[in-house]
């Protein structure tokens, strides 16, 4: 692999600062975490988007959350077909090996992946429909939900509603995994749906009884 | 989706604390990020492990890193077969839509996924070999590299070497993506391999010339 | 004292969140509490165990409970011998200076201190019998009660019964303090014994008439 | 023990509310904590004062902090004399059995115990000097530090300085315990001194280099 480069200097500098402060302050705890293993209380499925920091929002330090991040915080349906399924592998590890108590799906405003899915559904994104488009194929997980928001005229409002549908779709797909269904039935695991507004810092949770999102 | 539950109170409390401090202090910036979109300098591919916080190690704030996290920070080979590929979708979005300048793969010590792959390679993990094991199927991405470390007797040292091979495997697989190869050739993108020791806070980078990891 | 270190950053962040929310919302009340002094209605004697939060269980805010926490929520017998007695000092201050109306002893399941006492009573914990073992010497307060549960074969049931005996022992020892006996006789103070199951969230109280614990 | 009474109704009501909400939301985690045992990251030694809630200040949920509370957050010097030492037992359990990474002493403003020690040192509190006064005997742990603040004329300022000396005295006494000294030397444990202003919500930490308290 002769294409890898050394780390840019500004990141080396920041790492050295962390080593001398954040690491040094917590050395004992990090060593225990290394020796005894992690015991995270929750798994979070969040978007790769650089503007969404679940650890900041919840003041979480090393060891608290097992975090999977993908485009648009999507969970595909259960499909044990022998292929590589990164999201399903992360969920399986969290629930069956780490036995997390909470599984949180965190959606967000201004999601580029969700917008791409809208464009695709409206026939405005032929490049995403190509078989070779990984983003297009990935967003097909969400596409069936588009009918729920197809009638909304205002594009901004439509996108914000569809982002919440992405959270609901993931929650629904999670329940298709046998090990999740049984853990939920056994009251060993609870699912939670959240949506955050990047610009306003607001946080909403999915209320299953009313089938809508409410301010936290 | 009638299985979702409200957020536990301790997370609500912490969120409210962040809203009043971390968010309030940065409101103008977060609003700009929301309106103008993200422009991350780097994509980081890291593990879901709760003990690895790339934002802490590099003192990164909202907007800096586009982060994908999966089991063992693995990148599968390029396979445009029309299936859902979460990792490939995240990489495609980062490189072709966001045009990040750096793509960093961050491995780490005590990786449960890598250990599972070792167990599988040694014939000690029949449950991971089942077709229905998502973790097992996912770790097959790394399995061909096992021959590089098969002769190491000390199991701790073997795992630490194999964790570094997971980084190298991901770097190699990244280069099989045509849009990455061309961006690297055009000097628009550079790849970086890192490995961190959770307990000691050490950081190593992959030196392509010597084909080994060196302390940062 | 050149061994003290600054506070870890994650606690600084959380403190700042509390200052901007929990404190800010209650500033007037906290200032009154500071100026006029505390006037708690009850003293609670609870275990140091991190899983037992008496303020959560009873929704108690600042100013309500005067709380002493030690290993296994034990009260030693009255012994005015001039030595340092931390538990007795806390009780004296609560009853004679603050004149609390209730004195609550709260025991709990899975108590490590109580288990240590069982191990000691069965001759399985020589390290706790050493004169230098503070935990061993402290648990001797409870040891005489072991005969009440010595015949129970199931170790889990034995521990749960002994945890309740720790509450009864503390209630009995409280009555050996002259200032408590007289306050109880004058109907200025009432004693209460509780036991909580950490995993199930159950709460039982000691019924003095039947000499047994009943569900609250 | 025929003096114990049932729990007052208002506490029963609050407990039932917590069981249906706070407990129900976290049931899975509390069951894991019960089954697998606690693994607190820090021990906190705090005052019994009803106005000091360390769990609120640091947004800590069940399982995070092992908490000992006594009058004036004092630690006596190491004294393995075979007597009951509740504070020493709590510290021994936290450091040797639970292997906490941080040991935090939290002092506070308007501390009644510290004021009693000042009164005693000035000869204004004969009742505290009686051999039978548990509070008086307990506060003798702090008394030698009075010379550090004896010259301060303003009684309010004198008390606030002495409260901070109580934290320093406890930190010093902690280092007289062989198992603490060795854990600190082995970099497995760090000590921290804090002082909080109840009315203002301020928090200061002890800076060992400058030998003074600084705002967090």
Annotated binding site of C for Zn(2+): 47, 49, 108, 111
**C195: helix, coil or strand?**
strand
Measured between CB atoms, does B22 come within 8 Å of chain D? no
**In chain D, what residues touch B10 (CB-CB under 8 Å)?**
26, 59, 61
C-alpha A163/C-alpha A118 separation (Å) is 10
Contact call for D93 and C56, based on CB within 8 A = no
Contact call for A29 and D101, based on CB within 8 A = yes
C-alpha B167/C-alpha B112 separation (Å) is 15
Contact call for D59 and B8, based on CB within 8 A = no
Mean pLDDT of all residues belonging to chain B: 96
Q: Is residue B1 scored above 90 in pLDDT?
A: no
The number of helix segments (H) and strand segments (E) in chain B equals: 10, 6
Measured between CB atoms, does A13 come within 8 Å of chain B? no
Q: Which residue of B30, B141, B208 is in closest CB contact with A1?
A: B208
Kindly give the pairing relationship between strand D202-207 and strand D190-197.
antiparallel
pLDDT 10s digits, A65-77: 999 999 999 999 9
Sign of CA dihedral A181, A45, A140, B73: negative
User: DSSP secondary structure string, A93-157?
Assistant: IIIIIS--SEEEEEEESS-HHHHHHHHHHTT--HHHHSTT-HHHHHHTTTGGGGGGTTT--SHHH
Q: Is residue C36 scored above 80 in pLDDT?
A: yes
Find the mean pLDDT for residues C87-102: 98
**In chain C, what residues touch B14 (CB-CB under 8 Å)?**
14, 17
Contact call for B208 and A76, based on CB within 8 A = no
Q: Most C CBs within 10 Å: which of A18, A25, A30, A203, as the mutation test of the C interface?
A: A25
Q: Cα dist. B107→B165, B168, B203, D8 in Å? A: 9, 10, 10, 56
Identify the CA nearest to A2 among candidates B53, C206, B206. B206
Residue in B closest to D18 by C-alpha: B9
C-alpha C90/C-alpha B151 separation (Å) is 63
The interface pTM score, or ipTM, of the predicted complex is 0.97
Least confident of B5-9, C75-79, C122-126: B5-9
pLDDT 10s digits, D20-55: 999 998 999 999 999 999 999 999 999 999 999 999
**In chain D, what residues touch C90 (CB-CB under 8 Å)?**
48, 69-71
Asked if A84 and B83 count as a contact pair (C-beta separation under 8 A), the reply is no
Q: Residue D7: pLDDT band by 50, 70, 90 thresholds?
A: very high
Q: Is residue C2 scored above 70 in pLDDT?
A: no
Measured between CB atoms, does C13 come within 8 Å of chain B? yes
Measured between CB atoms, does C58 come within 8 Å of chain D? yes
Identify the CA nearest to A93 among candidates B127, D77, B96. B127
Phi–psi pair at D13, nearest 5 degrees: -60, -45
**In chain C, what residues touch A59 (CB-CB under 8 Å)?**
10, 13-14, 17
Find the mean pLDDT for residues C135-145: 97
Contact call for C16 and B16, based on CB within 8 A = no
pLDDT of residue D81: 94
Measured between CB atoms, does A23 come within 8 Å of chain D? no
Beta bridge partners of C45: C68, C105
Residue in B closest to A48 by C-alpha: B67
Measured between CB atoms, does A37 come within 8 Å of chain D? no
Phi–psi pair at B143, nearest 5 degrees: -50, -40
Q: Which residue of D27, D41, D187 is in closest CB contact with A27?
A: D187
Measured between CB atoms, does D32 come within 8 Å of chain A? yes
Contact call for A26 and C13, based on CB within 8 A = no
**In chain C, what residues touch A29 (CB-CB under 8 Å)?**
8
pLDDT 10s digits, C200-211: 999 999 999 999
Asked if D133 and D142 count as a contact pair (C-beta separation under 8 A), the reply is no
Measured between CB atoms, does A36 come within 8 Å of chain D? yes
Contact call for B203 and A93, based on CB within 8 A = no
Give B74→chain A minimum CA distance, Å.
9
In terms of phi and psi (left: phi > 0; alpha: psi -120 to 50; beta: otherwise), the region of B54 is alpha
Find the mean pLDDT for residues B35-53: 96
Contact call for C8 and A21, based on CB within 8 A = no
Contact call for D198 and C94, based on CB within 8 A = no
Mean pLDDT of all residues belonging to chain C: 96
Give C65→chain D minimum CA distance, Å.
5
**Of all residues in chain D, what percent carry a pLDDT higher than 70?**
99
Measured between CB atoms, does B53 come within 8 Å of chain C? no
Measured between CB atoms, does B13 come within 8 Å of chain D? yes
pLDDT of residue A13: 95
Residue in A closest to D38 by C-alpha: A39
Mean pLDDT of all residues belonging to chain A: 96
Give D106→chain C minimum CA distance, Å.
11
Q: Most D CBs within 10 Å: which of C50, C148, C198, C206, as the mutation test of the D interface?
A: C50
Kindly give the pairing relationship between strand C212-215 and strand C202-207.
antiparallel
**In chain A, what residues touch B68 (CB-CB under 8 Å)?**
48, 69-70
Beta bridge partners of D67: D44
Contact call for C70 and D84, based on CB within 8 A = no
Q: Which residue of B14, B19, B20 is in closest CB contact with C14?
A: B14
Q: Which residue of D29, D188, D189 is in closest CB contact with A101?
A: D29
Q: Which residue of B8, B13, B17 is in closest CB contact with D25?
A: B8
| Residues composing chain A | 216
Q: Cα dist. C192→C47, C76, C92, D111 in Å? A: 15, 17, 17, 27
**In chain A, what residues touch B92 (CB-CB under 8 Å)?**
133-135
Q: Which chains touch C (3 or more CB pairs under 8 A)?
A: A, B, D
Q: Most C CBs within 10 Å: which of B21, B22, B51, B53, as the mutation test of the C interface?
A: B21
Q: Residue C3: pLDDT band by 50, 70, 90 thresholds?
A: confident
CATH class of the region D38-215: alpha beta
Q: Most A CBs within 10 Å: which of C6, C8, C13, as the mutation test of the A interface?
A: C8
Residue in C closest to A188 by C-alpha: C199
A111 is in an annotated binding site: yes
pLDDT of residue B3: 81
Contact call for A28 and D189, based on CB within 8 A = yes
Find the mean pLDDT for residues C82-102: 97
**In chain D, what residues touch C213 (CB-CB under 8 Å)?**
none
pLDDT 10s digits, A75-108: 999 999 999 999 999 999 999 999 999 999 999 9
Residue in C closest to A29 by C-alpha: C8
* Chain A, chain D: beta-carbon pairs less than 8 Å apart: 36
Residue in C closest to B21 by C-alpha: C17
| Domain ranges for chain A | 1-37, 38-215
pLDDT of residue A166: 98
pLDDT 10s digits, A167-181: 999 999 999 999 999
C-alpha C93/C-alpha B206 separation (Å) is 63
Q: Residue A3: pLDDT band by 50, 70, 90 thresholds?
A: confident
More confident residue, A2 or A47: A47
Q: Is residue A1 scored above 70 in pLDDT?
A: no
Q: Most C CBs within 10 Å: which of D11, D76, D211, as the mutation test of the C interface?
A: D11
């Amino acid at each position: 692999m002769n294409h890898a480069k050394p780390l840019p200097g500004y990141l080396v500098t920041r790492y050295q600062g962390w080593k001398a402060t954040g690491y040094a302050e917590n050395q004992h705890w990090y060593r225990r975490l290394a020796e005894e293993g992690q015991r995270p209380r929750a798994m979070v499925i969040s978007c790769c988007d650089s503007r969404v920091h679940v650890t900041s929002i919840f003041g979480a330090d090393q060891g608290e959350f097992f975090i999977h991040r993908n485009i648009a915080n999507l969970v595909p349906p259960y499909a044990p077909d022998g292929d590589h399924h990164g999201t399903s592998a992360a969920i399986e590890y969290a629930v069956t090996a780490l036995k997390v108590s909470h599984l949180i799906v965190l959606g967000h405003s201004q999601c580029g992946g969700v917008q791409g899915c809208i464009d695709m559904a409206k026939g405005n994104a032929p490049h995403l429909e190509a078989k070779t488009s990984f983003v297009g194929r990935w967003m097909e997980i969400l596409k069936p939900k588009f009918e729920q928001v197809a009638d909304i005229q205002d594009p901004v409002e439509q996108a914000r509603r569809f982002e919440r549908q992405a959270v609901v779709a993931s929650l629904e797909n999670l329940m298709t995994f046998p090990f999740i269904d049984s853990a939920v039935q056994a009251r060993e695991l609870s699912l939670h749906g959240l949506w955050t507004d990047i610009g306003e810092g607001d946080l909403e949770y999915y209320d299953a009884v009313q089938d809508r999102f409410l301010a936290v």
